[in-house]
Amino acid sequence: MTTTSRQRTAFTLVELLVVIGIIAILVGVLLPALNKARAAAQEAQCMSNLRQFGFGFQIYADANQGFLAEDGPDGHDNLAGDVIGRWPPSTGNVSYDKNGNYLPTGVDDPALWYNAIPPLVNNRSYSSMIADYYNGNTSSMPKLGTNTIWVCPTAGEPDSNYPEIFVPGGASSTPPRGAGDYFGLYGTGTKNGVLSAYYLHLWVFPFYQSYVFNSKLFTTVGGGAGAQVISRVKLAQLRPGSDVVLMVEKIMQSGEYSSKTDPEVFADVQSVSGETYPPGNYSTAGYYGNMGQPKATWTRFTTRHRHGGMLLFADGHVSWYAWSQVCGLPDPSNPSSIPNINRPDNHVIWCPFGAVTGGGGG
């Protein structure tokens, strides 16, 4: 008599648990490596974006007697430094005041860096994308999640708690408030296609950029009768080129700084002043205030890449720096003041023409 052996067709509970356990261990081992690889790829993309701007600045300087493109005013809603045609109005393409300061005609001025540089590396000027936005083509504007040289792949949306937020369709008689896809850039435009909601004789433009101009390249050095206004700069004057910052990766969310005393961000500077940093009158606003402005220094420098971010230097190279390596150091004898924001100890020079105090203002 023949007997037929019965073949098992299913796993036992113990075998399933063993397999699940093995898979969980493998995931636990591989996931950190995968996250690290993804973060490295995102950092590489971020550095590539800034390098393209670096190529553009070099091309622009070569074609314009060595001069840099203009940084323009702050675009802040305090009306003190907006991208606006000033009195007397400009004549022709370029105009300067009695101190040699460039007078931009508006957000669409072709001499401003965010209009002059991108077309040189096969991208569009920012003002042309703003014009498209108001003509109904909103897809052209850089914002969270877009693949463009303007946006870091790890950048967040504009801080919803920050007042300078552009809200499409907002009331025209009051400054925009609340969450939105863009910060608000205050100023004027000289072309009809670039005009937005009207507020206090200014227009409010949608603005979202991960990378902005170093605000201390065009500045005032010294004080009193010996003060020197730096308004027109040649690329060759930024020396040493490997140390002078040209562009800054900017913060988008105040939450990037978990607190003023985040040990991963502030530890190095705390050791200099001997107390919690920022000391004295340096409030949290000094680190991420005015996030919507198209220029910055260390006070709006990001911390999204390993508690730091990317800087573009005048010689065209891009490097990662920790926030604590680029910040202005307090005076040990007067911890509430910062006598010079330059950091030659870490090869970071914000102003190559002399010592400047303060932070990331215009």
Q: Pick from 78, 362, 72: which is nearest to 202 by CA?
A: 78
Continuous H helices in 274-322: 285-288
User: 350 near 297, Cβ under 8 Å?
Assistant: yes
Greater model confidence, 340 or 232? 340
pLDDT digits (tens, 9 = 90+) for 9-44: 677 888 888 888 888 888 887 777 777 888 999 999
Greater model confidence, 8 or 23? 23
User: Which pLDDT score, from 0 to 100, does residue 299 have?
Assistant: 83
Greater model confidence, 217 or 194? 217
* Angle of CA points 96, 296, 73, to nearest 5°: 25
Gap between the Cα atoms of 359 and 74, Å rounded: 14
pLDDT digits (tens, 9 = 90+) for 82-99: 444 333 333 344 445 445
pLDDT digits (tens, 9 = 90+) for 45-86: 999 999 999 999 999 999 999 999 988 767 765 544 444 433
Structure tokens at 293: 């402005």
- The domain limits of the chain are 68-209, 220-346
Structure tokens at 213: 């101009």
User: Which pLDDT score, from 0 to 100, does residue 22 have?
Assistant: 87
- The residues near 42 (Cβ < 8 Å, ≥ 6 apart) are 152, 153, 154, 305
Greater model confidence, 360 or 117? 117
Structure tokens at 81: 């430094």
Query: Is the pLDDT score of 347 beyond 70?
Result: yes
User: Which pLDDT score, from 0 to 100, does residue 85 have?
Assistant: 38
User: Which pLDDT score, from 0 to 100, does residue 360 have?
Assistant: 58
User: Which pLDDT score, from 0 to 100, does residue 245 have?
Assistant: 98
